[in-house]
Every structure is written in structure tokens, then in C-alpha cells.
Amino acid sequence: MLPPARYVRDIEGVTPQTLTAEILASTEPLLLRGLVKHWPMVRAGRESPQAADSYLRRFYRDASVVAMLGAPEMQGRFFYNEDLSGFNFSPVRARLDAVLAELRDHYGDAQPPAIYVGSTTVDTCLPGFREENDVDLGGRDALMSVWIGNQTRIAAHYDLPDNLACVAVGHRRFTLFPPEQVGNLYVGPLDFTPAGQAISLVDFARPDLEKHPKFAEAMRHAQVAEMRPGDALFIPSMWWHHVEALDRLNVLVNYWWRQSPEHMDTPTNALMHALMSVRDLPKEQRKAWQELFRHYVFEADEDTAGHIPAGARRILAPLNADATRELRAQLLKRMNR
């Protein structure tokens, strides 16, 4: 039997005007009740799914989106097929108004087909929407995206950027895990994924503890956020999160931003390269490289290269955009030998 998860810390009374830098740099998830309750999108959704549909259509300008479609039998769980050689859904490119019409046609179904439009840039598909529905993030260069669908389940995954997820229409349940629980989540392939990020293979609706026994330990560290329209959830970088959309029409708007300079590469590339060049070394060599990574990367400080004259430290000095560009070119040249 799984232990009950504790709830994400709940903060009442936060407004876009009182959204502090401390909140947006938290290392724990935070549920911000009613943060965007004033949005016209939220008000329309509270009126009815039809009103929310009409509100979205106000901003539609012939944009196409990638929609993921699945049979009713999958019960909204976007996942792999049985042997992980493919997926249980089909991605299609369609007009957004056509997707909204397909959703509307199934409002009354007891078990509708699964329909999901994930991570689509708001300014591209709904120009003008942001002028009426936005959060001031204090100068952060945030990407604003919209997610639209019916009752869906998105497997636990992590994202590199910090994330402010705002429920505009419908209700959602997030189940979150700190990064150190990766070994208890039974993560699938890193290079073949349903939507770009590696996912947990555990079915959260029916966890098989004989097949995935360590998931019980993960749940001891889990935090759950039950979200209503107008609520927002801050998800720190690298926290695993499983997402359930619970209503016949659900709209979520999120903001992504990184706390690192734009010129920094994604650490995922370093992980992939380490799998290729480090993982299969003999044990003692791996230990030697572990020490080098500890020294130069994970515990690097001002003493790491302090014995080298400042002008001669090269890549051991703090990297700027030009130095990063030069280093990337050197790496590409070495890899293409």
C-alpha cells in the first residue's frame, strides 16, 4: 500500500503585484491560490466550457498546432505502446479551432477520446491573449505557453527551467517529487520519449508495486497540489511532476525561465555525452572521472583555478557568450573527427 503524499505548501493572498523574487526562486514547490483568478480566461472558464471555447476563439488567427490524439481506451494516459517501441497516441498538425471543435463535440462523452495540445507558444497561436491574461515576473525572460485538452494524464517528467503553471480552465492535480527520487521513479528511455522529456514508466492510477517496488519510497517524498481555476503552481527546476487534467475542457498557461545565462548549453547534452564517453569505462577509471567532475564542476569554487594566473585560466574562468561559442566549436570539431 502506498503512503499518502503530503500537500504542496499552500500560500493564500498572493497577487501578481506581490509575487516576490523569493517565491520565484524557491527550491520547493509552492501553490499560489488565486494568483490569476482575475484573468478574463479564468472568468470565462468558470462560466462554462462553451464560454471558455468562445473566449479562446477571439484570439485565433489561422494558427496550426500539434495535437496528440488517443483512443478512449487509453483513458487519457499519453504513454508508450506495450513494448515501448512506439506510442499509444498519434500526433497530428491541425488548426486550433478544429481541435477546439473536436473537444466540444465530446463534452458529453462518458469516456471521450484523449485530446491534448501541449506546450504551444501563446504569442504564436493566440496573439493578443497575453495582453489580457499575464503575470509580471519581474523582468524575467519567460516563455509563455498554453496547454489545452480534456481529461488527460501526463507521465511524471522533469523540466530544466523553473515553471509557473497557471490553471485557467478546469481542475488539475500535480504530483511532484524532488530530483533525488529519480532512482525510484523507473524512468524510461532518455532518447526516445513521448514529448521530448524522459518519463516515469509507473502508471500512477494503478501502480504495480511488484514491478516497480521502489515507487513506494518515491511516494514517501511526493507532494500533491489540487488546483482550481485561477490557482498557480511554482515548480522548481528539475522537480519531477505528474499532471492530471480532470475536466472535459482544461486550459493551463505556464511560464518557463532559466536562472542561468542564455549562452549556457542544456545539461542534457552533457549527460548524453557522459553516457557515450564515461559510463562504460572500467570502474576505477569511472571513479577517477567522478573525482574530476567533482573538482571541476560540482564543487568548483574560487580555489579550483586560483593557482593559475587570471589571464591564463581559459575555460576554467567564468564563461561568457564568446568563450562558450568558441568552446562549442572546439567540441564539435573533436566529435566530428
Q: Give yes or no: residues 240 and 281 share one domain.
A: no
Flag whether 178 is in a domain: yes
Q: Give yes or no: residues 191 and 217 share one domain.
A: yes
pLDDT of 221 above 90? yes
Q: Which of 206, 226, 257 is the last residue in one of the domains? A: 257
pLDDT of 4 above 80? no
Q: What's the domain range around 73? A: 6-257
Q: Give yes or no: residues 210 and 312 share one domain.
A: no
* CATH code, domain with 233: 2.60.120.650
pLDDT 10s digits, 243-292: 999 999 999 999 999 988 888 888 999 999 999 999 999 999 999 999 99
Burial 168-203 (b: 16+ CB within 10 A, else e): bbbebebbbbbeebbebbbbbeeeebbbebbbbbbb
Distance CA 26, CA 241 (A): 16
pLDDT of 337 above 80? no
CA gyration radius for the chain?
22
Read off φ and ψ for residue 249, nearest 5 degrees: -135, 125
Whether 176 contacts 227, CB under 8 Å: no
Distance CA 66, CA 121 (A): 11
Residue type, 300: A
How confident is the model at residue 33, as a pLDDT?
97
Nearest to 250 by CA among 306, 155, 164, 168: 168
Confidence band, pLDDT 50/70/90 cuts, at residue 204: very high
Q: Give yes or no: residues 278 and 245 share one domain.
A: no
Flag whether 262 is in a domain: no
Q: How many domains does the chain have?
A: 2
Distance CA 137, CA 14 (A): 13
Q: Give yes or no: residues 146 and 96 share one domain.
A: yes
pLDDT of 193 above 90? yes
How confident is the model at residue 263, as a pLDDT?
86
Distance CA 95, CA 89 (A): 18
Q: Give yes or no: residues 244 and 271 share one domain.
A: no
Q: Give yes or no: residues 164 and 309 share one domain.
A: no
Residue type, 217: E
Flag whether 1 is in a domain: no
Q: Give yes or no: residues 281 and 247 share one domain.
A: no
Mean pLDDT for the stretch of residues 109-126: 95
The C-alpha cell that represents 269 in the structure block = 547534452
Flag whether 318 is in a domain: yes
Distance CA 254, CA 135 (A): 10
Q: Give yes or no: residues 130 and 235 share one domain.
A: yes
Confidence band, pLDDT 50/70/90 cuts, at residue 335: confident
Whether 168 contacts 41, CB under 8 Å: yes
How confident is the model at residue 62, as a pLDDT?
87
Q: Give yes or no: residues 172 and 59 share one domain.
A: yes
How confident is the model at residue 334, as a pLDDT?
86
Q: Give yes or no: residues 230 and 272 share one domain.
A: no
Q: Give yes or no: residues 126 and 239 share one domain.
A: yes
How confident is the model at residue 260, as a pLDDT?
87
Flag whether 20 is in a domain: yes
* E-strand stretches of the chain: 6-7, 9-11, 30-32, 64-70, 77-78, 90-95, 114-121, 143-149, 152-157, 162-169, 172-177, 223-227, 232-235, 240-245, 250-257
How confident is the model at residue 92, as a pLDDT?
96
